[in-house]
């Protein structure tokens, strides 16, 4: 028997439907509000930005939504993704816990993000969209949408957060290799970008600013639609292929998780792995602990307020009720660029409010240390974002050791770090600091919340 066991499903077992957790929520989500009127928005309000099929999925309460055959065909390029038992890591930690991880780094762009990028490109193509605009933080989403756009013949424009544009030139090259155009944000190509540059000429950018630019381009051009890589209900739903496969793979392994862990930026990979398990727990009972892990420098779930807020900095998006640090909050330039967002998916926020999940914040140096421990035992270099899940899994395994209990831990390894080696270089050079969030900045950003009545 090999030390590391891979639980692989045959290709035919790629899920035929996504799972929609809205069908099983004990309390419905708060409505999305129009930024001008404060009234719940309808499909027509979103039509300039998204194709109707995705708007329908955004508000659907059907438990299962069929995955179109052309999307499943593309999924076959890398799905089903493997589930591994991390036996060498268990041994290194000398823990009685069993540690499993689902590995999403096997996709063409190296993360979970193509699971939704391919679906979004497909529906846009079907409805006649001629061009997609989007934002990207670390470059994972931009390269995933660029890949998906190339398969369906859709040009993609990517507004990339400036600090990442400078730190991650190879991500940019990857987007260009797939045929996308990549612009450093804030840019002088949009009103939102120019407004930021006028006030802060040296702005490092943020996801909130880049979203404003990409939304503006879609709103002003009839043939262009906007695509978002996280946060929205339909995006989280597309990611549930991860958890649906994992449910079956855990059965193959003859185990059931006691603890499930995912890192959380906007919440999509966390949702993708955990929602099918949470749904089963809501329908059939159970006492699994589900933990979302975020960076201490951008502690949306653990320090943010649950309130209506804008998704972007220029306040072009609808108002959604979520955990937020305030749309004007710009986190420090930590290396996990994909986790530097001021908000959190409304569904993940809602689940935390209902006590159905937990949240934890981790500092970056501890995360890199955990990522390196993982690499030296399991071989895979985790993306900086994914190291947050690795760190939490190791913490939980060490807790099991201290308590002498052998729990089963499952975490999502959302991507590999091959394009993020500069971050590891900086870590080895002792250049990474643990930024706590800046409380004064946070208080200021929260004082600027739009102030819509909570319910």
Provide DSSP, 430-445: T----PPP-HHHHHHH
User: Which residues on neighbouring strands pair with residue 351, listed in sequence order?
Assistant: none
CA dist 105 and 269 (Å) reads: 12
Q: How crowded is the C-beta side of 173, counted as CA atoms within 13 Å?
A: 5
- 15 vs 417, which CB is nearer to ligand PLP? 417
Q: Is 163 left (phi over 0), alpha (psi -120 to 50) or beta?
A: alpha
- 261 vs 400, which CB is nearer to ligand PLP? 261
230 part of the interface to ligand PLP, by CB under 6 A: yes
Instruction: Let me know: does 24 contact 351? Beta carbons within 8 Å.
Output: no
113 part of the interface to ligand PLP, by CB under 6 A: yes
Please state the closest distance from residue 96 (CB atom) to ligand PLP, in A. Answer: 29
Site track for ligand PLP across 282-321, x = CB under 6 A: ----------------------------------------
Site track for ligand PLP across 119-158, x = CB under 6 A: ---------------------xx-----------------
Q: How far is CA 90 from the centre of its chain?
A: 27
Residues 16-55 that bind ligand PLP (CB under 6 A): none
DSSP state of 33: B
Ranked by CB distance to ligand PLP, the top (closest) residue is: 415
C-alpha distances (whole Å) from 383 to each of 90, 270, 405, 414, 418 are 20, 15, 30, 7, 7
Query: Which member of 57, 107, 111, 360 binds ligand PLP (CB under 6 A)?
Result: 111
265 part of the interface to ligand PLP, by CB under 6 A: yes
115 part of the interface to ligand PLP, by CB under 6 A: no
Query: Which member of 90, 216, 312, 385 binds ligand PLP (CB under 6 A)?
Result: 385
Residues 331-360 that bind ligand PLP (CB under 6 A): 338-339
Stretch touching ligand PLP by CB under 6 A, among 6-14, 50-58, 259-267, 317-325? 259-267
Please state the closest distance from residue 50 (CB atom) to ligand PLP, in A. Answer: 17
CA dist 429 and 9 (Å) reads: 41
Please state the closest distance from residue 242 (CB atom) to ligand PLP, in A. Answer: 10
Stretch touching ligand PLP by CB under 6 A, among 4-12, 68-76, 260-268, 354-362? 260-268
Instruction: Let me know: does 345 contact 265? Beta carbons within 8 Å.
Output: no
- 111 vs 233, which CB is nearer to ligand PLP? 111
Element containing residue 184 per DSSP (H, E): strand 181-185
Q: Taking the C-alpha atoms of 400, 403, 404 and 410 in order, what is their torsion angle to the nearest 10 degrees?
A: -10
- 71 vs 264, which CB is nearer to ligand PLP? 264
Rounded to 5 degrees, φ, ψ at 434 are -90, 105
Instruction: Let me know: does 192 contact 209? Beta carbons within 8 Å.
Output: yes
- Output the six-digit token pair for 15: 């899920």
Provide DSSP, 342-399: S---HHHHHHHHTTSSEEEEE-HHHHHHHHHHHHHHH---B-HHHHHHHHHHHHHHHH
Strands 408-413 and 259-263: parallel
- 326 vs 417, which CB is nearer to ligand PLP? 417
Query: Which member of 268, 317, 327, 392 binds ligand PLP (CB under 6 A)?
Result: 268
| Total interface residues for ligand PLP by CB under 6 A | 20
Please state the closest distance from residue 164 (CB atom) to ligand PLP, in A. Answer: 11
269 part of the interface to ligand PLP, by CB under 6 A: yes
CA dist 206 and 210 (Å) reads: 6
- 257 vs 265, which CB is nearer to ligand PLP? 265
> Helix H segments across 204-303?
207-220, 233-238, 241-253, 268-284, 300-303
Stretch touching ligand PLP by CB under 6 A, among 89-97, 206-214, 263-271, 351-359? 263-271
Pick from 412, 411, 413, 404: which is nearest to 97 by CA? 404
Instruction: Let me know: does 104 contact 273? Beta carbons within 8 Å.
Output: no
Query: Which member of 146, 264, 400, 446 binds ligand PLP (CB under 6 A)?
Result: 264
386 part of the interface to ligand PLP, by CB under 6 A: yes
- 111 vs 133, which CB is nearer to ligand PLP? 111
DSSP state of 14: S
CA dist 337 and 113 (Å) reads: 14
Please state the closest distance from residue 181 (CB atom) to ligand PLP, in A. Answer: 20
Query: Which member of 246, 301, 381, 383 binds ligand PLP (CB under 6 A)?
Result: 383
Interacting residues with ligand PLP (CB under 6 A): 111, 113, 140-141, 230, 263-270, 338-339, 383, 385-386, 414-415
């Amino acid at each position: 028997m090999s030390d590391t066991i891979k639980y692989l499903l045959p290709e035919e077992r790629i899920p035929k439907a996504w799972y929609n957790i809205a069908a099983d929520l004990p309390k419905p989500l708060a409505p999305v509000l129009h930024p001008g009127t404060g009234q719940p928005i309808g499909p027509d309000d979103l039509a300039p930005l998204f194709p109707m099929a995705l708007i329908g999925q955004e508000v659907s309460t059907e438990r299962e939504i069929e995955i179109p055959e052309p999307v499943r065909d593309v999924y076959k390029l890398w799905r089903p993704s493997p589930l591994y038992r991390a036996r060498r890591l268990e041994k290194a930690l000398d823990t009685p816990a069993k540690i499993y991880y689902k590995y999403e780094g096997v996709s063409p762009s190296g993360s979970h993000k193509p699971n939704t990028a391919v679906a979004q490109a497909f529906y846009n193509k079907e409805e006649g969209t001629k061009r997609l605009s989007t934002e990207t933080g670390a470059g994972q989403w931009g390269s995933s949408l660029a890949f998906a756009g190339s398969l369906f013949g859709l040009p993609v424009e990517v507004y990339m957060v400036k600090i990442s544009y400078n730190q991650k030139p190879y991500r940019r090259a990857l987007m260009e290799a797939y045929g996308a155009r990549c612009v450093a944000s804030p840019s002088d190509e949009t009103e939102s970008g120019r407004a930021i540059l006028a006030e802060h000429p040296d702005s490092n950018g943020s996801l909130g600013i880049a979203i404003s630019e990409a939304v503006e381009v879609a709103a002003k051009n009839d043939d262009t639609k906007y695509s978002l890589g996280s946060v929205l209900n339909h995006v989280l739903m597309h990611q549930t292929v991860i958890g649906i496969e994992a449910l079956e793979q855990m059965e193959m392994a003859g185990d059931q998780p006691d603890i499930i862990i995912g890192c959380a930026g906007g919440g999509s990979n966390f949702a993708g792995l955990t929602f099918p398990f949470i749904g089963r727990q809501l329908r059939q009972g159970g006492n699994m602990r589900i933990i979302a892990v975020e960076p201490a420098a951008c502690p949306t779930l653990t320090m943010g307020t649950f309130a209506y807020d804008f998704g972007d900095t220029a306040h072009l998006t609808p108002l959604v009720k979520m955990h937020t640090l305030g749309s004007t909050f710009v986190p420090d330039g930590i290396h996990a660029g994909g986790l530097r967002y001021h908000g959190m998916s409304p569904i993940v926020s809602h689940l935390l409010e209902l006590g159905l999940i937990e949240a934890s914040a981790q500092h970056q140096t501890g995360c890199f240390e955990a990522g390196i421990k993982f690499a030296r035992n399991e071989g895979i270099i985790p993306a900086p974002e994914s190291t947050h899940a690795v760190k939490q899994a190791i913490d939980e395994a060490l807790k099991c050791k201290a308590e002498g209990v052998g729990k089963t831990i499952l975490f999502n390894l959302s991507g590999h770090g091959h394009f993020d080696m500069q971050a590891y270089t900086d870590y080895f050079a002792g250049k990474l600091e643990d930024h706590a969030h800046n409380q004064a900045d946070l208080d200021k950003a929260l004082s600027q919340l739009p102030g819509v009545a909570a319910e």
